[in-house]
Amino acid sequence: QSVLTQPPSASGTPGQRVTISCSGSSSNIGDNYVYWFQQLPGTAPKLLIYRNYQRPSGVPDRFSGSKSGTSASLAISGLRSEDEADYYCAAWDDTLSGVIFGGGTKLTVL
Amino acid sequence: EVQLVESGGGLVQPGRSLRLSCAASGFTFEDYAMHWVRQAPGKGLEWVSGVRWNGVNVGYADSVKGRFTISRDNAKNSLYLQMNSLRPEDTALYYCTKGRSTSPSDGMDVWGQGTTVTVSS
């Protein structure tokens, strides 16, 4: 059972803006940075967002992250077919002394 | 180019042991925390363990505590995972991941391609 809660699925049409939520608690999101990963089918996860909203070089600015209290969100604007993937949020948990992941959200581009 | 290459996976019987290795290149290995993350077939990501830059381990997921041991050799730019008393539920693709800094709480940025572990009789 994941400590971070994500919706299992999300969908949108090309060009649309989609948001994926990630809910945690004071021991993880509330007190630590949030990270987002994209996993395309059959590939290893790729870092999309670090420290709540920062983008690694090479990640398009269509991807943005935000955090408020014990929740975080990933927004994807100008949706493209190649964005179809699984998305995971993650954070350090002070109680567990380890990294915790959300259960993942499967994004479908209709 | 930063690269992580895992090895050591395979088919093993329940109760037996396996040692995974991760060869790192393209960055100063001793400057970063490292982690193991696994993904069971068709399932999500699960953090297994992490180790600080100096070899002090961060901790383990409850599911592997007491059975798995993480270690690193900075002279060999390598990360290891010793897995004992393996169970069928340990079957997964095991990823080696690079931390973003010396602190294991600062997330992970680079992932290897993974090595598959199958525990079955």
Q: CA-CA distance, B24 to B5, in Å (whole number)? A: 7
Binary contact (A104, B47; C-beta < 8 A)? no
A58-93 pLDDT, tens digit per residue, is: 999 999 999 999 999 999 999 999 999 999 999 999
Instruction: State the pLDDT at residue B59.
Output: 86
Biggest distance spanned by C-alpha atoms of chain B: 40
Whether the predicted pLDDT of A101 surpasses 80 = yes
Q: Whose structure tokens read 């940075």?
A: A33
Q: Is B90 helix (H, G, I), strand (E, B) or coil?
A: helix
Number of helices followed by number of strands (H, E) in chain A: 0, 9
- Residue ranges with strand state E in chain A: 9-12, 18-23, 34-39, 46-49, 63-68, 71-76, 85-93, 98-101, 105-109
Chain B residue closest in CA terms to A97: B59
Cα of B11 to nearest chain A Cα, Å: 20
B53-70 pLDDT, tens digit per residue, is: 998 877 899 999 999 999
Q: CA-CA distance, B36 to A11, in Å (whole number)? A: 30
A30/B contact by beta carbon, under 8 A: no
Binary contact (A98, B114; C-beta < 8 A)? no
